[in-house]
Amino acid sequence: MNLKDQIDTNNLPKHIAIIMDGNGRWAKGKGKIRVFGHEEGTKSVRKTVTLCAKLGIKNLTLFAFSTENWNRPKLEVTALMKILVSSLKKETTTFLENNIQLNVIGRIDDLPNNAKKELLEVINKTKDNDGLILTLALSYGAREEIKNAVVDIASKVKNNIISLESIDDLLINKHLYTHNLHDVDLLIRTSGECRISNFLLWQIAYAELYFTDTLWPDFRENDLFEAIINYQKRERRFGKTSEQICSPLHNAT
Protein backbone atom coordinates (compact mmCIF):
# COMPACT_ATOMS: atom_id res chain seq x y z
CA MET A 1 0.00 0.00 0.00
CA ASN A 2 1.42 3.37 -0.87
CA LEU A 3 1.75 6.05 1.81
CA LYS A 4 -1.15 8.14 0.56
CA ASP A 5 -3.57 5.24 1.00
CA GLN A 6 -2.49 4.81 4.62
CA ILE A 7 -3.88 8.23 5.54
CA ASP A 8 -7.17 8.35 7.43
CA THR A 9 -8.98 11.25 5.79
CA ASN A 10 -11.34 11.50 8.78
CA ASN A 11 -8.48 12.24 11.17
CA LEU A 12 -6.46 14.90 9.39
CA PRO A 13 -4.68 17.59 11.38
CA LYS A 14 -6.65 20.83 10.99
CA HIS A 15 -3.52 22.95 11.28
CA ILE A 16 -0.05 21.88 10.16
CA ALA A 17 2.86 24.22 10.93
CA ILE A 18 6.32 23.71 9.46
CA ILE A 19 9.73 25.03 10.47
CA MET A 20 11.37 24.73 7.06
CA ASP A 21 15.00 24.25 8.08
CA GLY A 22 18.20 23.02 6.44
CA ASN A 23 18.41 25.00 3.21
CA GLY A 24 21.95 26.21 3.97
CA ARG A 25 23.25 22.75 4.85
CA TRP A 26 21.60 21.27 1.77
CA ALA A 27 23.45 23.76 -0.45
CA LYS A 28 26.73 23.29 1.41
CA GLY A 29 26.45 19.53 0.90
CA LYS A 30 26.29 20.16 -2.81
CA GLY A 31 29.26 22.56 -2.74
CA LYS A 32 27.00 25.55 -3.49
CA ILE A 33 26.29 28.83 -1.74
CA ARG A 34 23.50 28.96 0.87
CA VAL A 35 21.16 30.97 -1.37
CA PHE A 36 21.00 28.02 -3.76
CA GLY A 37 19.39 26.02 -0.95
CA HIS A 38 16.80 28.74 -0.36
CA GLU A 39 15.91 28.72 -4.06
CA GLU A 40 15.60 24.95 -4.11
CA GLY A 41 13.46 25.13 -0.96
CA THR A 42 10.74 26.95 -2.90
CA LYS A 43 10.04 23.72 -4.82
CA SER A 44 9.32 21.95 -1.52
CA VAL A 45 7.04 24.83 -0.55
CA ARG A 46 5.04 24.49 -3.78
CA LYS A 47 4.69 20.71 -3.43
CA THR A 48 3.72 20.89 0.26
CA VAL A 49 1.20 23.69 -0.22
CA THR A 50 -0.47 22.01 -3.18
CA LEU A 51 -0.64 18.65 -1.42
CA CYS A 52 -2.14 20.16 1.76
CA ALA A 53 -4.79 21.92 -0.35
CA LYS A 54 -5.62 18.70 -2.19
CA LEU A 55 -5.80 16.68 1.05
CA GLY A 56 -8.27 19.16 2.53
CA ILE A 57 -6.03 20.47 5.33
CA LYS A 58 -7.60 23.70 6.64
CA ASN A 59 -4.52 25.62 7.83
CA LEU A 60 -0.86 25.40 6.84
CA THR A 61 1.61 27.80 8.43
CA LEU A 62 5.16 28.03 7.12
CA PHE A 63 8.01 29.62 9.06
CA ALA A 64 9.77 31.48 6.26
CA PHE A 65 11.74 34.20 8.09
CA SER A 66 12.14 34.84 11.81
CA THR A 67 12.74 38.11 13.65
CA GLU A 68 16.16 36.62 14.48
CA ASN A 69 16.94 35.92 10.80
CA TRP A 70 17.51 39.67 10.27
CA ASN A 71 20.88 39.03 11.95
CA ARG A 72 22.10 36.94 9.00
CA PRO A 73 24.59 38.41 6.48
CA LYS A 74 22.99 41.22 4.47
CA LEU A 75 23.55 39.40 1.19
CA GLU A 76 21.58 36.37 2.39
CA VAL A 77 18.74 38.51 3.76
CA THR A 78 18.49 40.42 0.46
CA ALA A 79 18.45 37.17 -1.50
CA LEU A 80 15.71 35.73 0.72
CA MET A 81 13.54 38.82 0.19
CA LYS A 82 14.06 38.54 -3.58
CA ILE A 83 13.07 34.88 -3.52
CA LEU A 84 9.96 35.81 -1.54
CA VAL A 85 8.86 38.36 -4.14
CA SER A 86 9.55 36.13 -7.15
CA SER A 87 7.83 33.14 -5.52
CA LEU A 88 4.73 35.18 -4.74
CA LYS A 89 4.53 36.33 -8.36
CA LYS A 90 5.09 32.83 -9.65
CA GLU A 91 2.70 31.03 -7.30
CA THR A 92 -0.35 33.27 -7.55
CA THR A 93 -1.85 30.92 -10.16
CA THR A 94 -1.09 27.91 -7.91
CA PHE A 95 -3.07 29.62 -5.14
CA LEU A 96 -5.98 30.49 -7.42
CA GLU A 97 -6.13 27.06 -9.05
CA ASN A 98 -6.14 25.31 -5.66
CA ASN A 99 -8.60 27.59 -3.82
CA ILE A 100 -5.86 28.74 -1.42
CA GLN A 101 -6.15 31.90 0.63
CA LEU A 102 -2.85 33.61 1.44
CA ASN A 103 -2.37 35.03 4.92
CA VAL A 104 0.69 36.52 6.58
CA ILE A 105 1.82 36.87 10.20
CA GLY A 106 4.76 38.78 11.65
CA ARG A 107 6.28 42.27 11.62
CA ILE A 108 5.32 42.89 8.02
CA ASP A 109 6.31 46.57 8.16
CA ASP A 110 9.96 45.46 8.40
CA LEU A 111 9.86 43.86 4.95
CA PRO A 112 11.11 45.74 1.87
CA ASN A 113 8.39 47.78 0.12
CA ASN A 114 8.21 45.54 -2.95
CA ALA A 115 7.70 42.45 -0.77
CA LYS A 116 4.98 44.18 1.25
CA LYS A 117 3.26 45.32 -1.95
CA GLU A 118 3.39 41.86 -3.53
CA LEU A 119 2.09 40.21 -0.37
CA LEU A 120 -0.86 42.58 -0.12
CA GLU A 121 -1.68 42.05 -3.79
CA VAL A 122 -1.70 38.26 -3.52
CA ILE A 123 -3.65 38.39 -0.23
CA ASN A 124 -6.24 40.54 -1.99
CA LYS A 125 -6.40 38.31 -5.08
CA THR A 126 -6.95 35.19 -2.96
CA LYS A 127 -9.19 36.66 -0.24
CA ASP A 128 -12.36 34.95 -1.50
CA ASN A 129 -10.81 31.48 -1.67
CA ASP A 130 -12.25 29.26 1.03
CA GLY A 131 -9.98 26.21 0.88
CA LEU A 132 -6.60 26.00 2.58
CA ILE A 133 -5.46 29.09 4.50
CA LEU A 134 -1.74 29.30 3.81
CA THR A 135 -0.02 31.51 6.37
CA LEU A 136 3.51 32.74 5.80
CA ALA A 137 5.34 33.68 8.99
CA LEU A 138 7.62 36.52 7.93
CA SER A 139 9.74 38.57 10.30
CA TYR A 140 7.86 36.52 12.85
CA GLY A 141 8.71 35.96 16.50
CA ALA A 142 6.32 34.31 18.97
CA ARG A 143 7.49 36.27 22.00
CA GLU A 144 6.85 39.51 20.17
CA GLU A 145 3.40 38.28 19.10
CA ILE A 146 2.55 37.48 22.72
CA LYS A 147 4.02 40.78 23.94
CA ASN A 148 1.85 42.68 21.43
CA ALA A 149 -1.24 40.81 22.60
CA VAL A 150 -0.42 41.64 26.25
CA VAL A 151 0.01 45.34 25.41
CA ASP A 152 -3.29 45.42 23.45
CA ILE A 153 -5.22 43.70 26.22
CA ALA A 154 -3.65 45.81 28.97
CA SER A 155 -4.52 49.03 27.15
CA LYS A 156 -8.12 47.87 26.67
CA VAL A 157 -8.37 47.15 30.41
CA LYS A 158 -6.81 50.53 31.21
CA ASN A 159 -9.35 52.31 28.99
CA ASN A 160 -12.27 50.32 30.44
CA ILE A 161 -13.02 48.67 27.08
CA ILE A 162 -12.80 45.24 28.70
CA SER A 163 -12.69 44.08 32.31
CA LEU A 164 -9.83 42.23 33.95
CA GLU A 165 -12.22 39.32 34.57
CA SER A 166 -12.94 38.90 30.85
CA ILE A 167 -9.35 37.84 30.11
CA ASP A 168 -9.30 34.16 29.24
CA ASP A 169 -7.66 31.85 26.66
CA LEU A 170 -10.19 32.81 24.02
CA LEU A 171 -9.62 36.52 24.47
CA ILE A 172 -5.84 36.06 24.32
CA ASN A 173 -6.29 34.00 21.13
CA LYS A 174 -8.25 36.83 19.58
CA HIS A 175 -5.33 39.20 20.12
CA LEU A 176 -2.73 36.98 18.45
CA TYR A 177 -1.72 37.24 14.78
CA THR A 178 -3.30 33.80 14.33
CA HIS A 179 -6.79 34.75 15.64
CA ASN A 180 -8.40 33.29 12.48
CA LEU A 181 -6.62 29.91 12.66
CA HIS A 182 -7.08 26.63 14.53
CA ASP A 183 -4.56 25.63 17.21
CA VAL A 184 -1.64 23.77 15.67
CA ASP A 185 -2.24 20.00 15.61
CA LEU A 186 1.00 18.93 13.95
CA LEU A 187 4.31 20.82 14.04
CA ILE A 188 6.98 19.55 11.65
CA ARG A 189 10.63 20.64 11.73
CA THR A 190 13.04 19.45 9.08
CA SER A 191 16.85 19.12 9.17
CA GLY A 192 17.24 17.22 12.45
CA GLU A 193 17.12 20.24 14.75
CA CYS A 194 14.85 19.58 17.71
CA ARG A 195 13.91 23.06 18.82
CA ILE A 196 11.08 25.55 18.35
CA SER A 197 13.14 28.69 17.58
CA ASN A 198 10.48 31.16 18.78
CA PHE A 199 7.70 29.83 16.52
CA LEU A 200 3.99 29.85 17.53
CA LEU A 201 4.68 29.30 21.24
CA TRP A 202 1.07 29.82 22.35
CA GLN A 203 -0.51 27.93 19.45
CA ILE A 204 1.56 24.73 19.83
CA ALA A 205 0.50 24.15 23.46
CA TYR A 206 -0.97 20.74 22.54
CA ALA A 207 0.55 20.17 19.09
CA GLU A 208 2.13 16.84 18.18
CA LEU A 209 5.80 17.49 17.40
CA TYR A 210 7.47 15.73 14.48
CA PHE A 211 11.17 16.08 13.77
CA THR A 212 12.73 14.67 10.62
CA ASP A 213 16.35 14.60 9.46
CA THR A 214 15.28 15.41 5.89
CA LEU A 215 16.60 18.80 4.81
CA TRP A 216 13.89 21.17 3.61
CA PRO A 217 14.88 21.17 -0.10
CA ASP A 218 14.58 17.35 -0.07
CA PHE A 219 11.13 17.40 1.58
CA ARG A 220 8.61 15.83 -0.81
CA GLU A 221 5.04 14.46 -0.80
CA ASN A 222 6.07 11.19 0.86
CA ASP A 223 7.74 13.07 3.72
CA LEU A 224 4.48 14.87 4.41
CA PHE A 225 2.51 11.61 4.18
CA GLU A 226 4.92 10.03 6.68
CA ALA A 227 4.47 12.92 9.09
CA ILE A 228 0.67 12.71 8.88
CA ILE A 229 0.66 8.91 9.27
CA ASN A 230 2.92 9.25 12.32
CA TYR A 231 0.57 11.92 13.74
CA GLN A 232 -2.46 9.66 13.20
CA LYS A 233 -0.83 6.82 15.17
CA ARG A 234 -0.55 8.96 18.29
CA GLU A 235 -3.11 9.09 21.05
CA ARG A 236 -3.92 12.71 21.87
CA ARG A 237 -5.03 12.63 25.48
CA PHE A 238 -5.25 16.34 26.40
CA GLY A 239 -4.66 15.50 30.03
CA LYS A 240 -7.13 12.62 30.20
CA THR A 241 -6.25 8.95 30.67
CA SER A 242 -5.92 6.49 27.84
CA GLU A 243 -9.00 4.62 29.16
CA GLN A 244 -11.10 7.79 28.95
CA ILE A 245 -10.04 8.32 25.37
CA CYS A 246 -10.74 4.74 24.31
CA SER A 247 -14.06 4.34 26.10
CA PRO A 248 -16.21 7.40 26.78
CA LEU A 249 -17.98 5.44 29.57
CA HIS A 250 -14.91 6.03 31.74
CA ASN A 251 -15.76 9.74 31.81
CA ALA A 252 -18.67 9.09 34.10
CA THR A 253 -16.76 7.15 36.76
SS3 203: coil
Residue 65 binding: pick among ligand IPE, Mg ion, none (C-beta 5-8 Å cut-off by kind): ligand IPE
- Rounded to whole angstroms, the Cα distance separating 1 from 109 reads 48
Rounded distance, CA 252 to CA 160, Å?
42
- Please give the span between the terminal C-alpha atoms of the chain, in angstroms, as a whole number: 41
Of 18 and 153, which has the nearer Cβ to ligand IPE? 18
CA angle 224, 182, 23 (to 5 degrees): 40
**Which residues does residue 15 pair with via DSSP β-bridges, in sequence order?**
59
User: What's the min distance (Å) between Cβ of 137 and ligand IPE?
Assistant: 7
Lay out the sheet containing 208-211: strands in order across.
101-105, 133-140, 59-66, 15-19, 186-189, 208-211
Q: Is 65 in the site for ligand IPE (CB under 6 A)?
A: yes
CB of 180 to Mg ion, least distance (A): 28
- Asked about 21 being catalytic, the answer comes back as yes
Contact call for residue 49 and ligand IPE (CB under 6 A): no
The binding track of 4-43 with respect to ligand IPE, each residue x by CB under 6 A or -, is: ---------------xxxxxxx------------------
Contact residues for 251 (Cβ-Cβ < 8 A; gap 6+): 244
Q: Which of 5, 8, 10, 21 is catalytic?
A: 21
Does 94 bind ligand IPE (CB under 6 A)? Our answer is no
CB nearer ligand IPE, residue 66 or residue 98 = 66
- Residue 69 annotated in active site: yes
Residue 175 contacts residue 151 (beta carbons within 8 Å) = no
Q: Count the residues of the shown chain that bind Mg ion, applying the rule CB under 5 A.
A: 1
Asked if residue 223 binds Mg ion (CB under 5 A), the reply is no
Q: Is 21 in the site for Mg ion (CB under 5 A)?
A: yes
**Three-state secondary structure call for residue 43:** helix
Per CB under 5 A, 80 contacts Mg ion: no
Q: What are the residues binding ligand IPE (CB under 6 A)?
A: 19-25, 63-66, 69, 80, 191, 193, 195, 197
By annotation, the residues acting in catalysis are 21, 69
